A and B are shown apart, each in its own frame.
Chain A
Amino acid sequence: MTNEPKITPEIVAQHGFTPEEYEKVLEIMGREPSMTELGIFSVMWSEHCSYKSSRVHLGRLPTTGERVIVPPGENAGVVDIGDDWCVAFKVESHNHPSFIEPFQGAATGVGGILRDVFTMGARPVAAMNSLRFGPLNDEKNGRRNTSILKGCVDGIAHYGNCFGVPTVGGEVVFDESYSLNPLVNAFALGIVRKDQIFFGKAEGIGNPVLYVGAKTGRDGIHGATMASAEFDEEALEKRPTVQVGDPFLEKLLLEACLEAMRSGAIAGIQDMGAAGLTSSSVEMASRAGTGLELDLTLVPQRETGMTAYEMMLSESQERMLIVAKSGREKQVVDIFKKWDLDAVVIGKVVEGHHLRVYHNGVLEAEIPVDTVTDAAPKYNRPMDGSKFKIQNSKFKIEDQKPKTKDQTEALKMLLASPNICSKRWVYQQYDTMVRTNTAILPGADAAVIRVKETRRAISMCLDGNGKFAAINPRMGAKLIVAESARNNVCVGAKPIAVTNCLNFASPEKPEVMRAFSEVIDGISEACRAFETPIISGNVSFYNETDGKGILPTPTIGMVGLIEDTRKIITQGFKKEGDIIAILGETKDDLAASEYAQTILGLTTDELIENGIVPEIDLDLEVKVQTACLKLADNLLINSAHDASDGGLAVAVAEQCFSSLNNQANGAEIELSNSDLAAESLLFGETPSRIIVTFSAENLEKIKEVVGDCPFEIIGKVSAENLSFKINGEEKISASVSELETAWKTSLEKQLER
């Protein structure tokens, strides 16, 4: 091997190994590793690539189902949508890079997830993102939080718009715990014919290995290791570990890859994401049970004097590793040449199970591939749940000091609050319509894209709720999955599969690990109830800055199927005089609501202290969703909307607002209930509730379809005003246009000041 620095305990520690892990490296190798080998072990055994703290728990997630074509383990999961067509999708975090360098961090997050999807042979047709930031008006970090938000939105727009994928939905959430710990979870979905799915397998002894796409530079070296540590004041010094994205190159790479796949010359393909050339080569060989020989001298480079270590660890973007069928490499090279891209044979698939890396004629690394994948460390880390509060009833509305007792004023404040107000300022910067499939634009319960090749449409949404998961991780997780499913149902879609992104603080803290484990169990139970298997996902630990961690934040990306585009339902009220009814029941669920935070002024820590989240009954939830789907399927309803953040009053107000081709309406609501406080009825966040509207003539048929699902008529659609009466007494009366303005302009007022 070449003259490299001697491996000292300092170097071992810098690479993030514990002494025990390094012992294991020595044991596997039977000798001291070279620097390149140490680097390979380091990135492959990082938390980010090896899932060493989470693997023991992830196995409990349900991953099978009738529609599942490719379960977790590949670049993206694939499910059958009928007529020989499939969708491939996945969500992935890019939290750490987005904190260090918001624009490029978020942009390359989008780039990475798009590659994951088209690696499967699927053309990306929709993207979403789930974003979490600290409060914009925070005294200490408000300006920083604002600039992080603007940078992330700009980066996502830059990448997605240029690449040509519509960004159709997602969420933007604010909470103190995301100050200096932003979360950027990027989702992409692609369409692929069932018989044209590709895999990341290095199959066929003797087949050539091609490097395609952008040239390799020194950017992003150790990005995966960076994403596996918490942050402190010096975090910004890590900026050089953030990669720089080029969406134009990625667009060329997409077209070239799809063309090469169609040519039949490709045996396997894998994107070079985290840990670049290392993870792509190791994973492809590992999946196929083969060995690989690579000559790094042949790798296209944009810097001079790069070492084998640097090339194996570089995270330069927009690159792919392809295994071509023997003898057809020229065909592949020619296709990439057409798109002005590099495509070079850098090695071949060999017998055995070793990765051998040569550089300038010298063997720089020789590692058995399964030792860096399957034999990676796996920890069952200590867990401690003693800090979780048990549900108690300490919270009483009578003991609280609301900022206003006027419920109309409270509704207006809620509609303008950061977590409920319109996110138009954000999504108008995204191209939401390119590819001409978007049937429901951002701002709805779920986005919908039609599938041109069929009569079907696909719905999708991204949902998280750190607050609920922090108070009660298991119940919180169930609530999030249920809301995701409900959001799909509200546009007329049957939920079919899930991808998840689990954002947590340090796994070395026992209470974090306990929350993680509980969240896995909550997700599993709910996914079983909805028959929506998990087909892909990602775990992001170490979301901590200066020792302060984020709320446990599982993000659920759920995808649904609409058999016929004519059966899509939207949330806006359509016609004056339509009956407004609610599927489900309202209970006393004010304690952890947006009302509790915005109007009662409770901090998230105080909500956690109170320890109360809504209880969800999954059987009831399934019943409500089934009823709503049947109504949509029989074309009996004119609108549907989930009552969640801000409760019934906010949900009805949102349905009054105008949308494309649909003018604003009003509503007259009359509720009667002797057990619940007005605040709970109006603003409580009981799950399993869907508001639907329909023509009076459909009422009898609707009652028949709904069966034994709780169903109550609460009012009718009117002209210009929204009013709520409880037991005959008027509680809310407001002009809809005034409410709509407050809701629509709140975020841009904060951001454009």
Chain B
Amino acid sequence: MKFGVIVFPGSNCDHDAYHVISKHVGQPVDFIWHKATDLSGYDAVIVPGGFSYGDYLRCGALAKFSPVMQSVKEFAAQGKYVFGICNGFQILCEAGLLPGALIRNKNLHFICKHVNLKVENANTPFTSEVENGKVLSIPIAHAEGNYVCDDETFHQLEENGQIVFRYCDENGEVTDEANPNGARSNIAGICNLNRNVLGMMPHPERACESLLGSNDGRAIFRSLTKKIAETVEA
């Protein structure tokens, strides 16, 4: 099993993802420079958070032109796992690997704080180790996390179980007060139809140690690792 963490100019959560995979998930992991095109040998790639290309033009809009992204598309088409976190989610939306877009937070500010997430679909490779409805405490840190999509896309997301995480209160209630950024229907993370590509605004890699305030992010990495192990064995 091998993970890759893509490094764009301006990625700044690349080291954090690397740290979690190597220290807490305990699997081999490489940094992948954005100009690389060969992803053979990897089972999953993480598109990390940060400010790829300084968020110039639009978050993720320039990163989608990096050479590695064409390979990521092919990688995803082969059914391998692609995990976009924060800026990585924005990039996957820009690149067309996930539907919808992320616009400016409703209050127009950057927001960094711990939020609660409700697991809406435990039947994905990224959430198989948790139960439906489970509440996870995971921090957000973004200025553009307000998820939008057209009605048709939204209904498809709902029908196909592609909404994986929603912002909720500590009791798991999905309320307006618990929505930090104005995202449609409190959406915090979605997957593609095949469920091998996940994008989420919150940072699970920041919630893998009690020293940092939460362990809840581990469940996501644990799910993915288990799934890969099964696939590799099969």
**Chain A residues with a Cβ under 8 A of chain B:** 157, 161-164, 246-249, 251-252, 339-340, 427-439, 441, 450, 452, 565, 660-661
Cross-chain contact B112 with A429 (CB below 8 angstroms): yes
Whether the pair B54, A433 counts as a contact (CB closer than 8 A) is no
* B110 and A431 contact, CB distance less than 8 A: yes
Instruction: Check if A436 sits within 8 Å of B112, measured CB to CB.
Output: no
Q: How far does the alpha carbon of A494 sit from the alpha carbon of B149 in the complex, in Å?
A: 52
Residues in A neighbouring B109, C-beta threshold 8 A: 157, 428-429
- Does residue B16 face the partner (Cβ distance < 8 Å to A)? yes
A selection of 17 A-B contacts at a CB cut-off of 8 Å is A161-B51, A162-B10, A164-B50, A246-B54, A247-B51, A247-B54, A428-B111, A429-B112, A433-B139, A434-B12, A434-B49, A435-B16, A436-B19, A436-B206, A437-B212, A439-B212, A661-B214
Within 8 A of A (CB), among B25-59: 49-51, 53-56
Contacts of B206 in A (CB 8 A): 433-434, 436
What's the Cα separation between A427 and B111 when bound, in Å? 9
Given known A-B contacts A436-B206, A439-B212, A661-B213, A162 and B13 have beta carbons under 8 A apart:
no
Whether A248 touches B114, Cβ cut-off 8 Å, given contacts A433-B203, A438-B212, A450-B211, is no
Contact B111 A251 (CB under 8 A): no
**What residues on A are CB-neighbors of B209 within 8 Å?**
436
In the complex, what residue of chain A is closest to B33 when comparing beta carbons?
A338
Complex contacts, B9 vs chain A, CB 8 Å: 248, 251-252, 339-340
B141 interface neighbour in A246, A433, A450, A452, Cβ under 8 Å: A433
Q: Hey, which chain B residues are within 8 Å of A252, CB to CB? A: 9-10
CB distance A431 to B141 under 8 Å? yes
Asked if B106 lies at the interface with its beta carbon under 8 angstroms from chain A, I say: no
B61 to chain A, nearest CB (A): 14
| Nearest-CB residue, chain B, relative to A250 | B54
CA distance A162 to B212 in the complex (A): 21
CA distance A339 to B13 in the complex (A): 17
Q: Are B205 and A436 in contact (CB under 8 A)?
A: yes
With both beta carbons as reference points, the residue of chain A lying nearest to B55 in the complex is identified as A162
A117 to chain B, nearest CB (A): 16
Which A residues lie within 8 Å of B155 (CB)? none
Min Cβ gap B218→A in Å is 13
> CA of A462 to CA of B55 in the docked complex: distance in angstroms?
31
Chain A residues positioned under 8 Å from B113 (CB to CB): 428
Contact A452 B19 (CB under 8 A): yes
Q: How many residues of B contact A (CB 8 A)?
A: 34
How far is A339 from B8 in the complex, measured between Cα atoms in Å? 10
Q: Complex Cα distance A565/B110, Å? A: 29
Partner of A432, one of B20, B112, B205, B208: B112
Give min CB distance, B129 to chain A, whole Å.
21
Contact of B112 among A163, A164, A430 (CB under 8 A): A430
A246 CA to B111 CA, complexed, in Å: 21
Inter-chain contact count A-B, CB under 8 Å? 87
Q: Within 8 Å CB of B184, what residues of A?
A: none
Given contacts A248-B53, A433-B206, A436-B208, list 18 more A-B pairs with CB under 8 A: A161-B51, A162-B12, A164-B12, A248-B9, A251-B54, A252-B9, A428-B113, A429-B111, A430-B112, A432-B141, A433-B212, A434-B13, A435-B15, A435-B16, A436-B16, A441-B213, A452-B19, A565-B211
> Which chain A residues border B19 with CB–CB below 8 Å?
436, 452
CA distance A660 to B212 in the complex (A): 10
CB of A214 to closest CB in B, whole Å: 12
Which residues does chain A contribute within 8 Å of B212, judged by CB atoms?
A: 433, 436-439
Instruction: Give the residue of B10, B15, B20 whose beta carbon is less than 8 angstroms from that of A248.
Output: B10
List the B side residues contacting A251 at CB < 8 Å: 9-10, 12, 51, 54
Q: In the complex, which residues of chain B have a beta carbon less than 8 angstroms from the beta carbon of A162?
A: 10, 12, 51, 54-55
Contacts of A248 in B (CB 8 A): 9-10, 51, 53-56
The 9 closest A-B pairs by CB, nearest first: A164-B12, A248-B54, A162-B51, A436-B16, A431-B141, A429-B110, A660-B213, A431-B112, A157-B110
Report B1-28 CB contacts with A as 1/0, cut-off 8 Å: 0000000011011011001100000000
B residues within 8 Å of A by Cβ? Answer: 9-10, 12-13, 15-16, 19-20, 49-51, 53-56, 109-114, 137, 139, 141, 143, 203, 205-206, 208-209, 211-214
State in angstroms the CA–CA spacing of A161 and B54 once bound together.
10
Shortest beta-carbon distance, B101 to chain A, in Å?
Answer: 20
* Chain A residue at smallest Cβ distance from B109: A429
Chain B CB count within 10 A is highest, among A248, A340, A432, for: A248
Chain B residues near A435: list those with CB within 8 A: 15-16
How far does the Cβ of B127 sit from chain A's closest Cβ, in whole Å? 22
Minimum distance in angstroms from B209 CB to a CB of chain A: 8
User: Which chain A residues border B141 with CB–CB below 8 Å?
Assistant: 161, 431-434
Please indicate the chain B residues that have their CB under 8 angstroms from the CB of A161 in the complex: 51, 110, 141, 143
Q: Which residue of B lies closest to A247 (CB)?
A: B54
With both chains docked as a complex, state the minimum distance between the C-beta of B156 and any C-beta of chain A, in angstroms. Answer: 33
Q: How far is the CA of A436 from the CA of B56 in the complex (A)?
A: 25
Distance of B87 from chain A, by nearest CB (Å): 10
A104 to chain B, nearest CB (A): 15
Partner of A433, one of B51, B56, B112: B112
Nearest CB of chain B from residue A695's CB, rounded to whole Å? 21
Could you say which residues of chain B place their CB within 8 Å of the CB of A432?
A: 112, 141
CB-CB under 8 A from A247, the residues of chain B are 51, 54
B110 contact set on A, CB distance < 8 A: 157, 161, 429-431
* Chain A residue at minimum C-beta to C-beta distance from B13: A434
**Least CB separation from A163: chain B residue:** B12
Which among A157, A164, A247 has the highest number of chain B CB atoms within 10 Å?
A164
B114: nearest residue on chain A (CB-CB)? A660
- Which chain A residue lies CB-closest to B52? A248
* Assembled-state Cα–Cα distance A660/B139 (Å): 11
Bound: A259/B99 CA distance, A: 37
Q: What CA separation (Å) do A661 and B137 show in the bound complex? A: 10
Please measure, in the bound complex, the distance between the C-alpha atom of A432 and the C-alpha atom of B12, giving whole angstroms.
13
A157 and B112 CA atoms in complex are apart in Å by 11
Set of chain A residues within 8 Å of B137, measured between Cβ atoms: 661
> How many angstroms between the C-alpha atoms of A247 and B109 in the bound complex?
18
Specify the chain B residue showing the minimal Cβ separation from A436.
Answer: B16
Instruction: Name A424's closest neighbour in chain B (CB-CB).
Output: B113
Q: Which of A162, A339, A432 has the most CB of B within 10 A?
A: A162
In whole angstroms, how far apart are the Cα atoms of A249 and B53 in the complex?
9
- Interchain CA distance A433-B143 in the complex, whole Å: 15
Report how far A163 CA is from B205 CA in the complex, Å.
18
Q: Min CB distance, B213 to chain A, in Å?
A: 5
Closest to B212 in A: A436
B13 to chain A, nearest CB (A): 6
CB distance from A610 to the nearest CB of B (A): 40
Cβ–Cβ < 8 Å partners of A437 in chain B: 212
B16 touches A434 (CB 8 A): yes
A432 to B203, CA, bound (A): 13
Contacts of B54 in A (CB 8 A): 162, 246-249, 251
Closest to A442 in B: B112
Once bound together, how far apart are the Cα atoms of A163 and B10, in whole Å? 8
How far, in whole Å, are A438 and B113 apart by their CA atoms in the complex? Answer: 12
Collect the chain A residues with CB atoms within 8 Å of residue B56's CB.
Answer: 248
Q: Across the interface, name the chain A residue whose C-beta is closest to B7.
A: A255
B122 to chain A, nearest CB (A): 24
How distant is the Cα of A248 from the Cα of B139 in the complex, in angstroms?
A: 23
Which residues of the partner chain B approach A339 to less than 8 Å between Cβ atoms? 9
How far is B206's CA from A125's CA once the two chains are assembled, in angstroms? Answer: 15
Chain A neighbourhood of B213, CB < 8 A: 441, 660-661
A432 to B140, CA, bound (A): 10
Shortest distance from the beta carbon of B40 to any chain A beta carbon, whole Å:
23
Task: Compute how far the CA of A429 lies from the CA of B111 in the bound complex, rounded to whole angstroms.
Answer: 5
Task: Give the distance to chain A from B84, nearest Cβ to Cβ, in Å.
Answer: 17
A441, closest chain B residue (CB) = B213
Residues in A neighbouring B13, C-beta threshold 8 A: 164, 434
B141 to chain A, nearest CB (A): 5
Q: Which residues on A sit within 8 Å (CB–CB) of B208?
A: 436
CA distance A162 to B9 in the complex (A): 11
Count chain B CB atoms within 10 A of each CB in A339, A450, A660 and give the residue with the most.
Answer: A660
Task: With both chains docked as a complex, state the minimum distance between the C-beta of A448 and any C-beta of chain B, in angstroms.
Answer: 10
